[in-house]
Structure 1
Amino acid sequence: MTNATLQHVADEHLDLQKLARQKESYLVYPDTTYPELEPFDHADPGRLGDPKKASLYDNATKIFDLTPGIGTEIHGLQLSKLTDEQKNDLGLLVAERGVVFFRDQDLTPHQGRKLGEYFGPLLIHSVLGHPPGYPEILTLLSGAEEDKIIKNLSNFGRTSDAWHSDVTYEFQPPGFTFLKIDTLPKVGGDTLWASGYSAYDKLSPALQTFLEGLEAVHSGAQQINAAKIAGATVRRHDAEHIHPVVRTHPVTGFKSIYVNPVFTRRIVGLSKRESDTLLDFLYEHVSGGHDFQVRFRWEENSIAIWDNRVTFHCPIPDYIGGGKRHGWRITAQAERPVFDPNSKSRNEEFRKRAAEKNGSA
């Protein structure tokens, strides 16, 4: 059976964990191309969420924050069985907390695709390989062939250079990413997330004001070039767009830094030296912001759901050579990034709420 045929055979019972443990790689690279993505109006389910998230808190066995500013863990709920009300509340919680974690999840790739579709159109990656029948799924598979295109990408000089938000070069980049890790080495393989809200809040007011007037170019050209070198099909070629350096989240209304060293190339209107200096500062600001980061230690069948609009994440490749690590992810597109000059920082809003609460006490 050819790769092109495999693409169209979607098995509801596909067990990627089993495949990953039996094979060096199960990825396919069909010669399928797609039209460029069309603009669409994004209806974020988080807008329908209950501010108290009662459908989650009243039914989970335990919900707790991992740090004050980012990361919440939920026990006792299966993502495969969420009601629409719970999905709406989850959308709001992820938007507020940046990333939410679940353990011991039974979610299958078929169920994961349906769950992801609730939050937006699923993104098919322009170049990377995928499981048979599931072009919307991106596989993470180490200790094996992995992805022949990734092998042609330059290695990061240091782990901190890998901080990013997913495929920000799209015209309407992802809102939520769902990642399930089902196979782990004995030790290692954690992932870091950082809050874009806090990254903005930690800057001086003068620098905040300056950044709010800037835009940056995001590009996936490096991935496309790597695909060509590997002899793989480039499914879509529209891989460079301009987004604001500070964006406003459509549900929370909070401001967030929106540049990353993997996909951001330059700031519009600045000289190369000015752009490089400012971007390097912001990258160091995020990677060194340990007070607004969370580090998650995976267990097999854990799932992380994060909001790419207001977070950065960084895998920690300390397990290389120490065993296989496997997982799969779904990414749902959202709105085109915008900056609303009337929006507030998260700190501003929290101070306002505290003042109102004290005034009414």
Structure 2
Amino acid sequence: MATSQELNIEILTPRIGAMIHNLDLSQPLTKDQKHALEEALYKYHVLFFRNQNLTSKQQSDVARLFGDPHVHPVFSHTAECPEVSVLEFGVDVDPDKKPDSDIWHTDVTWSKNPPIIGMLYAKIIPKQGGGDTLWANTVEIYKQELSNEMKEFLGKLTAEHSFAYTFQPLIKPNSAAMAQFMKAKEANPPVTHPVIREHPHTKEKCLYVNRTYTTKINELNEQESNLLLQYLFSLINKKPEFTCRWKWNENDVCLWDERTTQHYATADYWPQHRRMHRCVIMERKDKS
């Protein structure tokens, strides 16, 4: 069976991020290649691939190798594949819709079955720069930034994650989008996850709360919860040593471990045009 050592890997930073050279994702991956990529993902947390050329169907096929692609209840998507969300901003696209991912977050933690892997494909990149994405390693943050006493305390806690918390303020009242949102809200009530999550493969522990979707610590009162969450959120971008930053070229692809990272998409490119195609990959329901 192939290992990550058999991939052409360029390490980007000591703690997070690697580039995979000479691998064409438009071609079917073998079981050995898929296993090697998973091993590399567990080790480096974020993997980048230059010069890819994927249709939406091919991007979905790559995602499906690792799990079940998620269909987002409110995001727009490509015509061919509802599981390939379109993240597109620019004054010529919609002058009233500005970038909204310039906040540290993990995708879709409001799901009972939260994502295992994220995938972005860069379709249109701002001509005059901007629009980089940053990732933070929440395993290292857990290891390095928390005392043993705090780790023990947090290990006993759970947190609520809410779909409505983030999306409701973005929807115009009495619009068609609001009707779609209300249906999605009913189908996705708040869920509970541990504050400290253990990776199922590496057994490493990581911090699993994020500013976008985490609303409260269940075991604490409101004031205690708010204070603790603000402290934990502040750790994500406390040290650049725990992060990597990627300057996109068109046709770049990124795979990242959604369990051990948070990411932040810079909004400095507005009003320029930026279009990304995203797949969020859930653990496969049928593991056979």
Flag whether TM exceeds 0.5 (same fold).
yes
Name the structure 2 match of 1:127.
74
Q: Cα distance, 1:96 vs. partner?
A: 2.1
Corresponding residue to 1:75 among 18, 21, 27: 21
Matched, 1:104 2:51: yes
User: Which one scores higher on RCO, CA 8 angstroms, separation ≥ 6?
Assistant: 2
Name the structure 1 match of 2:104.
163
CA distance in 2, matches of 1:55, 1:65: 14
* Runs of 4+ that moved beyond 6 A: none
- Percent sequence identity is 35
SS at match of 1:79: coil
Matched, 1:330 2:279: yes
| 8 Å Cα contact 1:92-1:251 kept in structure 2 | no
CA distance in 2, matches of 1:127, 1:147: 17
Matched, 1:275 2:225: yes
Name the structure 2 match of 1:86.
33
Matched, 1:305 2:258: no
CA distance in 2, matches of 1:147, 1:199: 37
| 8 Å Cα contact 1:140-1:146 kept in structure 2 | no
Name the structure 2 match of 1:215.
158
Matched, 1:139 2:86: yes
Q: Which protein is richer in strand relative to its size?
A: 2
Name the structure 2 match of 1:179.
120
Q: Cα distance, 1:223 vs. partner?
A: 4.9
1:203-242 counterparts in 2 under 5 A?
203-223=146-166, 225=168, 226-227=170-171, 229=173, 230-232=175-177, 233-234=180-181, 236=184, 237-242=187-192
Q: Cα distance, 1:91 vs. partner?
A: 1.4
Q: Cα distance, 1:136 vs. partner?
A: 0.6
Q: Cα distance, 1:147 vs. partner?
A: 7.9
CA distance in 1, matches of 2:278, 2:25: 14
Q: Cα distance, 1:219 vs. partner?
A: 0.4
- Residue type of the alignment partner of 1:330: C
| 8 Å Cα contact 1:136-1:330 kept in structure 2 | yes
| 8 Å Cα contact 1:173-1:335 kept in structure 2 | no
1:6-21 counterparts in 2 under 5 A?
none
| TM-score normalized with structure 2 length | 0.88
Structure 1 residues 137 and 335, CA gap change in structure 2 (3 angstroms): closer
CA distance in 1, matches of 2:132, 2:114: 25
Q: Cα distance, 1:327 vs. partner?
A: 1.4
- Residue type of the alignment partner of 2:242: F
Moved more, 72-81 or 231-240: 231-240
C-alpha deviations, 1:102-129, integer Å up to 9, x for none? 1001122111111111111111111122
- Residue type of the alignment partner of 1:171: K
Q: How many residues end up aligned between the 2 structures? A: 275
User: Which runs of 5 or more residues in structure 1 are unaligned?
Assistant: 1-48, 337-361
Q: Cα distance, 1:334 vs. partner?
A: 2.2
C-alpha deviations, 1:338-359, integer Å up to 9, x for none? xxxxxxxxxxxxxxxxxxxxxx
| 8 Å Cα contact 1:127-1:223 kept in structure 2 | no
SS at match of 2:69: coil
User: Which runs of 5 or more residues in structure 2 are unaligned?
Assistant: none
Q: Cα distance, 1:207 vs. partner?
A: 0.8
CA distance in 2, matches of 1:174, 1:104: 26
Q: Cα distance, 1:289 vs. partner?
A: 2.2
Corresponding residue to 1:115 among 57, 62, 65: 62
Q: Cα distance, 1:180 vs. partner?
A: 0.6
| 8 Å Cα contact 1:72-1:101 kept in structure 2 | yes
Structure 1 residues 68 and 197, CA gap change in structure 2 (3 angstroms): same
| 8 Å Cα contact 1:103-1:301 kept in structure 2 | yes
SS at match of 2:241: helix
Structure 1 residues 146 and 251, CA gap change in structure 2 (3 angstroms): farther
Structure 1 residues 173 and 255, CA gap change in structure 2 (3 angstroms): same
SS at match of 1:135: coil
Name the structure 1 match of 2:139.
197
Structure 1 residues 316 and 122, CA gap change in structure 2 (3 angstroms): same
CA distance in 1, matches of 2:153, 2:74: 36
